[in-house]
């Protein structure tokens, strides 16, 4: 809200995303994370926050980011450091067009342009080649596992992008989450925006009631031993499907909640896949 106020109370969708990104680069502790999408740097969380701001009466319900008239000075809620940096941001960028902002970000932060579909409009051939060389190009057949505990949606997605992961296999029994971005539909939509195929395998999940009172690694090991015996051993079809995905896409990740692979059943699923595809390597992200 402070950014919007500082730049006159109304900003276009793309223009705002670029200014928010540039402001974040100035912060000591970044408020948002970004991913490289079809138009460059993009924050799913910022778009979700926009809906809340409209609901709470701070923004008008229009395609642009436009404040509803109010007397609140939102910059006063920033830290002294951020408030000074916002002032510098306004001075440096207030007269730049959206196209000029895009070009500056593409050249200064080229990682965020690797998926751009509009790079030809803003960069010459030499500049585009420099960006395309940054695109992940490892096509070695690999199976990954990743938990979203402790990660923002954008941080999580960047792990997928940087490892050139083409398919995300969700092995949660019930893919719901109180954390923004990790409920099934939201995660699937975010993956599709980034050209990552999302597939849910509920048959490979563990019922939540069985995860109660897990305190030690021995508790987890006992649960996973039972899981392998009573659940995983019966899911040959699902394991074979993941093996087929590896054959077709090369770079596949299994995902669940827990940060530690030792405390998540995705590791047992991964081991079963590797046993059926021994030429494939495994990495826990």
pLDDT at 62: 78
Read off the pLDDT band of 260 (50, 70, 90).
very high
Read off the pLDDT band of 86 (50, 70, 90).
very high
CA-based end-to-end distance of the chain = 35
CB-based contacts of 156, cutoff 8 Å, min separation 6: 146, 148, 181, 182
Query: Which region among 24-33, 61-70, 181-190, 239-248 has the lowest average model confidence (pLDDT)?
Result: 61-70
Angstrom CA distances, 150 to 25, 48, 59, 155, stand at 21, 19, 30, 10
Task: Determine whether domain 142-284 maps to CATH 3.40.1010.
Answer: yes
How does pLDDT run across 174-194, given as a tens digit for each residue?
A: 999 999 999 999 999 999 999
> What is the residue-averaged pLDDT of the chain?
95
DSSP 3-state assignment of 180?
coil
pLDDT at 129: 95
Comparing C-alpha atoms, which of 232, 24, 201, 198 is closest to residue 112? 24
Contact between 266 and 147 under an 8 Å Cβ cutoff? The reply is yes
Contact between 68 and 59 under an 8 Å Cβ cutoff? The reply is yes
Overall size of the chain counted in residues: 285
Residue 170: CB atoms within 10 A of its CB come to 23
**pLDDT reading at 70 higher than 80:** no
Read off the pLDDT band of 46 (50, 70, 90).
very high
What is the mean predicted confidence (pLDDT) over 248-273?
A: 96
| 124 backbone dihedrals φ, ψ, rounded to 5° | -80, 175
Residue 110: CB atoms within 10 A of its CB come to 20
Domain positions in the chain are 2-132, 142-284
CA distance 263 to 180: 22
Comparing C-alpha atoms, which of 97, 2, 102, 16 is closest to residue 58? 2
What is the mean predicted confidence (pLDDT) over 101-121?
A: 96
CA distance 196 to 104: 27
Read off the pLDDT band of 211 (50, 70, 90).
confident
pLDDT at 279: 87
Question: For the chain, what is the radius of gyration of the CA atoms?
Answer: 22
Read off the pLDDT band of 30 (50, 70, 90).
very high
């Amino acid at each position: 809200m402070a950014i919007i106020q500082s730049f006159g109370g109304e900003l276009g969708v793309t223009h705002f995303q670029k200014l928010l990104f540039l402001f974040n680069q100035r912060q000591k502790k970044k408020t948002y994370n970004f991913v490289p999408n079809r138009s460059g740097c993009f924050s799913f969380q910022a778009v979700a926050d926009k809906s809340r701001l409209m609901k709470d009466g701070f923004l008008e319900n229009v395609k642009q980011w436009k404040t509803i008239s109010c007397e609140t000075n939102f910059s006063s809620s920033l830290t002294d450091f951020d408030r000074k940096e916002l002032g510098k941001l306004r001075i440096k960028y207030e007269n730049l067009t959206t196209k000029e902002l895009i070009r500056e970000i593409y050249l200064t932060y080229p990682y965020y342009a690797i998926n751009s579909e509009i790079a030809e409009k803003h960069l010459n051939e030499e500049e585009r080649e420099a960006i395309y060389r940054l695109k992940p190009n490892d096509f070695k057949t690999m199976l990954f596992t990743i938990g979203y505990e402790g990660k923002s949606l954008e941080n999580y997605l960047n792990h997928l992008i940087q490892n050139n992961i083409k398919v995300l296999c969700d092995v949660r029994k019930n893919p719901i989450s109180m954390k923004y971005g990790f409920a099934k539909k939201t995660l699937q939509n975010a993956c599709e925006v980034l050209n990552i195929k999302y597939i849910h395998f509920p048959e490979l999940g563990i019922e939540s009631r069985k995860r109660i009172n897990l305190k030690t690694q021995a508790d987890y090991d006992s649960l996973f031993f039972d899981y392998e015996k009573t659940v995983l051993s019966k899911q040959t079809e699902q394991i074979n499907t993941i093996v087929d995905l590896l054959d077709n896409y090369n770079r596949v990740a299994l995902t669940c909640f827990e940060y530690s692979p030792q405390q998540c059943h995705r590791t047992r699923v991964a081991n079963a896949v590797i046993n059926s595809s021994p030429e494939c390597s495994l990495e826990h992200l």
